[in-house]
Amino acid sequence: MAKKQFKAESKRLLEMMINSIYTQKEIFLRELISNASDAIDKIYYRALTDSSLVFNKDDYYVKITPDKGSRTLTISDTGIGMTKEELENNLGVIAKSGSFAFKNENELKDGHHIIGQFGVGFYSAFMVADQVTVISRALGSEEAYKWESKGADGYTIEPSEKASVGTDIILHIKQNTDDEQYDEYLEEYRLRSIIKKYSDFIRYPIKMDVKGQRPMEGSEGEFEEYTEEQTINSMVPIWRKNKNELTDEDYEKFYAEKRYGFDKPLKHIHISADGAVVYNAILFIPESTPFDYYTKEYEKGLELYSNGVLIMNKCPDLLPDYFSFVKGMVDSEDLSLNISREMLQHDRQLKLIAKNIKNKIKSQLQSMLKDEREKYEKFYNAFGRQLKFGVYNEYGMHKEDLQDLLMFYSSKEKKLVTLEEYVSRMPEDQKYIYYAAGESIERIEKLPQTELVADKGYEILYFTDDVDEFAIKMLMNYKEKEFKSVSSGDLGIEGDQDQNETDDKEEHKQLFDAMKEILGDKVKQVKASKRLKSHPVCLTAEGELTIEMEKILKAMPN
Ligand code: ADP
Ligand code: MG
């Protein structure tokens, strides 16, 4: 039989495919199962318009059969099958997608379930197989055909036998080498975990014969082996279910199953967007800070699905850094399965989704702050620092988004307050939002610099986090009120003329000169102050940096 040649460019493409498009070999199974699911979908769509066809759901499934003896892994489906021509056109020409054409020809309104569109997924089989055999019988045909290929050097097609409509893809799994392991693709447990990971939400059952042991009837302590066909995938994903049918426990269970965290989520956000971009998402705000959260090791990101099929474990482009604590997943039919990381970054749909998600998280946090104060404080204790970094980073370009989510400890309320609350309580004659920075609340309480401001009856925000002052400097003002450190030279309070104190009496001058001489470069100037009530002395700063900020900057590695 004459061997047909792949087109020259196809050869190159095939090599590229096998070596570079996919970073993980295990995704071959995802691709083949997706194709099988597409093939079943096609019968389903046909049945919608063809009354001679009945779509009985129980007849449609995918079956995975590993066989160690023959080193084969078979992926069978009861889908629409392929004619001889279709085998030739769809599997012989790389980057030709029969599924994409099907969607267009049939002008499917609801055709979004069909996954395929690029016409490259099938060839990922060659990442793990040294030979691929496809036996297929098309719907409405009595004949079956066999397509076979060992990779880049071509393929053969010949008549074959098949009892029912559908397709069997038989992979002859490669031998292990020193660098690469292939045996695992014949192991039941490994296949099961790959199916769970990538194809859990395929709409049709993915079945596999699973071996087990059970106590033998009648004889104590003895076990017998048995085999039972199991459906591995859960089929309907939680995010496609109706929100009203789901309980908090359902979401918590999902959070735990997905191993988003070991805590319980503080809040879940279930989004079903149907606007400019169509997607479903389930997002979680964790309760506690992951141990590596404030380290370089922590990786932000959401799981990204295209039509129920996992395409990326942690897609970083979906979350801004300041919301990097958010866990969860996004599923969109507007994204394609084969898209690469590089392409994703520039994907317009993805950008829209990311913006949408950001706004949703923000408004959820705002309403949590408004309606569930205690919960919000819990959240803020875990992740507030990240929000403050968010205000400071990227030249403050996100400050508008974040300023109303900030909280600081208040000298008056003795608890965390928002800037909004602070400003709403300001007496009319108060010009600034006052703050004091220090190591701890106890330490700040004892600062002599707070005395005058507190005496005036003004509220002071306590900054105990090293990022606090940096964030506030970036914010500059809130509702047109400037921030002012209690240790700054000019407090804007009447009766506090520290700044231009010139009436030093001669006796003071002598004392101050002596002090300056002893302290040397440690201080710039020693002068009298009216700011102090019960403390004999305090430090004040001139210019932009406060003493606390200088300390932090000095402690930073250069
Ligand atoms: P895509 O799925 O993006 O179209 P693939 O390379 O995965 O590209 O598959 C190429 C084409 O081969 C599909 O579009 C489909 O027409 C056909 N095909 C692949 N697998 C099957 C199958 N199991 N049953 C029927 N047709 C299939
Ligand atoms: Mg495909």
Model pLDDT for residues 363-415, shown as the tens digit of each residue:
999 999 999 999 999 999 999 999 999 999 988 899 999 999 999 999 999 99
Neighbour-count burial for 67-93, b at 16+ CB within 10 Å, e otherwise: eeeebbbbbbbbbbbbbbebbbebbbe
Give the model confidence (pLDDT) of 196-245 as tens digits: 999 998 989 999 999 888 888 888 888 999 999 999 998 888 998 889 98
Residue 116 CB less than 6 A away from ligand 1: yes
Q: Which of 7-16, 204-213, 284-293 has the lowest mean pLDDT?
A: 7-16
Q: Which pLDDT does position 298 carry in this prediction?
A: 94
Beta strand 302-306 with 327-332 is: parallel
Tokens read off for 389: 């970094």
pLDDT(526) > 50: yes
Nearest-angstrom CA–CA distance, 45 and 83: 18
pLDDT(346) > 80: no
Looking at residue 110, what DSSP letter applies? S
* Ligand in nearest proximity to the CA of 124: 1
Cα of 458 vs its chain's centroid, Å = 43
**Cα–Cα separations (whole angstroms), residue 372 to 192, 363, 368, 379, 402:** 42, 13, 5, 11, 18
More reliable by pLDDT, 475 or 348: 475
pLDDT average, residue stretch 44-72: 91
Residue 89 CB less than 6 A away from ligand 1: no
Looking at residue 413, what DSSP letter applies? T
**Cα–Cα separations (whole angstroms), residue 467 to 152, 249, 300, 366, 549:** 57, 36, 20, 22, 9
Residue 99 CB less than 6 A away from ligand 1: yes
Q: Which pLDDT does position 499 carry in this prediction?
A: 45
With a pLDDT cut of 90, the percent of the chain lying above it is 53
- Per-residue confidence band for 516, with pLDDT thresholds at 50, 70 and 90: confident
Distance, CA 35 to ligand 2 centroid (Å)?
5
Nearest-angstrom CA–CA distance, 273 and 288: 28
Average pLDDT of the residues of the chain:
87
Residue 154 makes CB contacts below 8 A (sequence gap 6+) with 3, 4, 5, 6
More reliable by pLDDT, 341 or 309: 309
Beta strand 144-149 with 206-215 is: unpaired
Nearest-angstrom CA–CA distance, 221 and 188: 26
Residue 97 contacts residue 116 (beta carbons within 8 Å): yes
Residue 90 CB less than 6 A away from ligand 1: yes
- The residue assigned the tokens 């019960």 is 534
With a pLDDT cut of 70, the percent of the chain lying above it is 85
Sheet holding 460-463, edge to edge: 416-418, 407-410, 460-463, 433-437, 481-485, 477-478
Tokens read off for 225: 């082996």
Which of 22, 90, 118 is the pocket-test mutation for ligand 1 (most atoms within 8 Å of CB)? 90
Residue 13 CB less than 6 A away from ligand 1: no
Q: Which pLDDT does position 135 carry in this prediction?
A: 98
The yes/no answer to whether this complex scores an ipTM above 0.90 is yes
pLDDT average, residue stretch 86-113: 72
Amino acid present at 541: A
Please give the full DSSP string across 496-552, using - where no structure is assigned.
---TT-----HHHHHHHHHHHHHHGGG-S-----SS-SS-S----B-SS--HHHHHH
**Cα–Cα separations (whole angstroms), residue 23 to 28, 103, 120, 464:** 11, 28, 14, 45
What dihedral do alpha carbons 354, 360, 362, 364 form, nearest 10°? Answer: -150
Residue 118 CB less than 6 A away from ligand 1: yes
Tokens read off for 447: 């600062």
pLDDT(257) > 90: no
pLDDT(558) > 50: no
Residue 434 contacts residue 461 (beta carbons within 8 Å): yes
Give the model confidence (pLDDT) of 406-452 as tens digits: 999 999 999 999 999 999 999 999 999 999 999 899 999 888 888 88
Q: Which of 247-261, 450-464, 515-529 has the lowest mean pLDDT?
A: 515-529
The Cα angle at residue 540 between residues 537 and 546, in degrees rounded to 5:
140
pLDDT(286) > 90: yes
More reliable by pLDDT, 304 or 117: 304
pLDDT(289) > 70: yes
Strands (E), 174-301: 206-215, 223-231, 265-274, 278-286
Which of 99, 113, 133, 149 is the pocket-test mutation for ligand 1 (most atoms within 8 Å of CB)? 99
More reliable by pLDDT, 19 or 178: 178
